[in-house]
Structure 1
Amino acid sequence: MASFDLSAIGISGPILLLLGLLSLASVSVLVARLLTLWSIGSERAKRDEALEKLARGEAVIVSGQSPADRILLRAAVLIEAEVSIEVLTSELEQRGNAESYALYRGVRFLELVGMIAPLLGLLGTVLGMIQSFRSLELAEGAANASILAGGIWQALLTTAAGLVVAIPALVGAAILTARAETGSTEIERTMVGALSSASRRMKK
C-alpha cells in the first residue's frame, strides 16, 4: 500500500504547515466566538419587562449576562440615581459603543485568514512549479513527463489547501458578523427603551 511522503512536497511543506496552523487558529476562534454570541438576542421579553418596571419606578433585577443585559443594568443604576437624561444618554452611548465593538471580536481575524490563505496557497504553487521546472532542467536528456507531472500536483496541493482554509474562515466571519449585528441591534433597542423608561418616570 502506497504511503504519502511529506518530504516529497519539498519547498511547499512550510507553507502547508503555516496553512494548517491558520486553519487550527481560525477554527478555534470561530468556535469560541460562536459559543459567546449564539444566544446574544435571547431573553428580550425579560428586558422589556424590566424596562416597564423602570418606567413605573419599581426595583429591577438583571440576571442575564449578555451585552444588552449589561446595558440594562447600567441604565437601571443611573435611573435609580436620578441622573439627567443628558448624562444617561451619554453614558449609555459610551457603554453601548464599547459593547457593540466587542461583539465583532474575531471577525477581522477570520476575514484576514480568508484573504491570505489563498495567497499563501498560490505562493506555494509558484514555488513548487519553480522547483519542478528546475528539476526538469537538471534532468536534461533524462527528462520525462512523470517528473513534471509529479512536481505539478505537489505544487497545486498548496492552492487547494489555501482554499480549504479560506472558505470556512470567510463563512465563519459572515456567521459571526450576523450574530454581532443581532447583538448590536438588541443593545440599541435596550438603550432606546431605557431612555424612554427614564423619560416616562420623570413625567410622573
Structure 2
Amino acid sequence: MSDDNPINAVESSLGIPSTPNTSAAGTLTDTLGQGGPVLWILALLSVAALAIVLVKLWQFSRLRLNASDPVERALRHWSQYAPESALVALQGSPQPSARLLARTLEGLSLPGADLGLLREELTRFASAQLEQLRAWLRALEVIAALSPLLGLLGTVLGMIEAFRQLELAGSQVDPAILSGGIWQALLTTAAGLSVAIPVVLVHSWLERRVERCGHRMEDAVTRVFTRDLGRDVPPSASIAEQPEPQTTSATTAAQHAS
C-alpha cells in the first residue's frame, strides 16, 4: 500500500527516515530523558514553583489584600470619635490591616492602657501577620536562584559527555556526535533560564504586594494615634503664642552705648 502523505514522500526523496507521530507526553518524556537528571530536577522545581504561586494567589485573594474599604470606613468613624462604629466596620474582616486596626482600637478602649506596651504588642502582631504573608516566598527565591545554576551544571556535564564520546570514537570522528552532545547540553541551560525568569517576576510581584500591605498597616495605626494632631490649636494661634525672642545682656549694652 502506497503512502499518500506528501511529507513522508519528501522525506523519502531526501533520504530522511520517516518517523511515526508521537504523543505530546512521549515527546516530553524523550526531551527530559535527553536532558538527563538535571532536566528532571528542573521540571520538579518548576512544578513546585507553580504550586507555591497558586497557593499564594489563593491566600492573597482570601485575605482581600487589595480591598481598602473596611479600613478606610473604620478610620472615618474613628476620626468622628465613634470607636464603637469603627470596631463594627472592622468586624469579620480577614485583612491583616483590618485585624491590626481592630486590635489597636480595642487596646485604646481599655481603661488605663499603657501606650508603650500597646505599641510593642501592635509591632509584634504586625510582624506575625507579615511573616504569614511571606511564607514560601523564600522558597520561590531559592528556586529562581538555583535553576540557572542547575542548568549550567547540566550543560557542563553534557559537554563533558560529548567530548568523552569523541575520545572514544578515536579517528572515526562523526561531527553528528559533537553537535548532538552540544544541543543536548545546552538544553538544560535553556530549561534553567525558562524556570528562573518567570519565577523571579512572580516573586517580585508577590513581594511587592506584601510590602504594600505592610505600608497600609503602618499607615492605619499611625492615623489612629495622630487623630487629634493639630486639632485643638489652629496654626494662627500657635504662631501668635510663640514667645518673643529675648535680648541678651550684650545686645542691651550695645544699644545703650549707641
TM-score interval w.r.t. the shorter chain? 0.7 to 0.9
Q: Which moved more, 1:173-182 or 1:77-86?
A: 77-86
Q: Does 1:50 align with 2:74?
A: yes
- In structure 2, runs of 5+ residues without a counterpart are 1-18, 233-258
Corresponding residue number in structure 2 for 1:144: 174
Matched residue SS, 1:141:
coil
Name which of 156, 175, 186 aligns with 2:216. 186
Contact 2:70 2:98 in 1 (8 A): no
With the length of structure 2 as denominator, give the TM-score of the two structures.
Answer: 0.69
**How many angstroms does 1:124 deviate by?**
0.4
Corresponding residue number in structure 2 for 1:18: 41
Q: Does 1:75 align with 2:100?
A: no
Q: Which has the larger radius of gyration?
A: 2
Q: Give 1:68-107 correspondences, 5 Å limit.
A: 68-82=97-111, 83-107=113-137
CA-to-aligned-CA distance 1:18-74 (integer Å, 9 cap, x gap):
1011101111111211222253131x2321322343443425222210111211221
Corresponding residue number in structure 1 for 2:66: 41
Contact 1:128 1:152 in 2 (8 A): yes
**How many angstroms does 1:87 deviate by?**
2.4
**How many angstroms does 1:86 deviate by?**
1.9
Name which of 59, 66, 78 aligns with 2:95. 66
Q: Which amino acid aligns with 1:41?
A: N
Corresponding residue number in structure 2 for 1:176: 206
**How many angstroms does 1:13 deviate by?**
1.4
Alpha carbons of structure 1 residues 184 and 139: separation in structure 2 relative to 1, 3 Å? same
CA-based RMSD: 2.2
Larger RCO (CA under 8 A, 6+ residues apart): 1
Q: Which amino acid aligns with 1:49?
A: R
- In structure 1, runs of 5+ residues without a counterpart are none
**Once the two structures are aligned, what percentage of the paired residues are identical?**
35
Q: Which amino acid aligns with 1:48?
A: E
With the length of structure 1 as denominator, give the TM-score of the two structures.
Answer: 0.86
- Measure the CA separation in 2 of the matches of 1:172 and 1:187: 23
Q: Which amino acid aligns with 1:67?
A: P
Alpha carbons of structure 1 residues 8 and 174: separation in structure 2 relative to 1, 3 Å? closer
